[in-house]
């Protein structure tokens, strides 16, 4: 999939159906995974601020935090700077991430992935698939 205006591509399971794709939100889901991407322009944070941004988002969204915030580079392979938190919301596992394009620092994304138990690897595969165009 592609967020062309924001110079990024990513992969998600072929079974996911598009729910929304506009300038404020991309969302897709299947029976097991829900993915939402909220692109932002002109919002750049330093590493500690990235962790704080995702922490605040998790708290505002009433996510029960299990792990994090953790720098993306410490856990997954991606070309983006950022941080993530994993936890639970209403019985589903969730990963929330803040990602910043290192080549176009004015472009960033908030990524929400909720998924059924046992699918954490698939959720992290989605995060790892983000690639700046």
The model's pLDDT over 56-76, given as tens digits with 9 standing for 90+, comes to 999 999 999 999 888 887 666
Pick the residue with more confidence: 53 or 76?
Answer: 53
41-70 average pLDDT score: 89
* CATH number for position 7: 3.40.1000.10
| Range in 49-53, 79-83, 93-97 with the lowest mean pLDDT | 79-83
pLDDT over threshold 90, residue 43: no
Give me the number of domains the chain comprises. Answer: 1
The answer to whether residues 2 and 71 touch, using CB atoms and an 8 Å cutoff, is no
Given this model, what pLDDT does residue 3 score?
60
Task: For residues 8-31, give the mean pLDDT.
Answer: 90
Q: What is the mean pLDDT of residues 72-94?
A: 85
- Residue 109 sits in which domain range? 2-132
pLDDT range class, residue 77, cuts 50, 70, 90 = low
Name the average pLDDT for the chain.
87
The residues, any chain, with a CB within 8 Å of residue 78's CB and separated by 6 or more, are: 72, 99, 127, 128, 130
Residue 47 has pLDDT above 80, yes or no: no
């Amino acid at each position: 999939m592609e967020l062309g205006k924001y110079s990024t591509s990513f992969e998600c399971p072929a079974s996911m159906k598009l729910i929304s794709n506009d300038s404020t939100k991309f969302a897709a889901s299947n029976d097991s995974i829900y993915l939402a991407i909220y692109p932002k322009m002109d919002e750049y944070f330093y590493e500690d601020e990235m962790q704080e941004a995702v922490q605040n988002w998790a708290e505002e969204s009433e996510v029960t935090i299990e792990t994090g915030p953790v720098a993306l580079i410490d856990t997954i392979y991606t070309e983006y700077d950022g941080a993530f938190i994993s936890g639970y919301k209403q019985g589903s596992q969730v990963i929330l991430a803040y990602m910043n394009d290192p080549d176009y620092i004015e472009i960033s994304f908030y990524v929400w992935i909720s998924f059924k138990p046992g699918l954490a690897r698939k959720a992290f595969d989605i995060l790892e698939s983000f690639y700046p165009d």
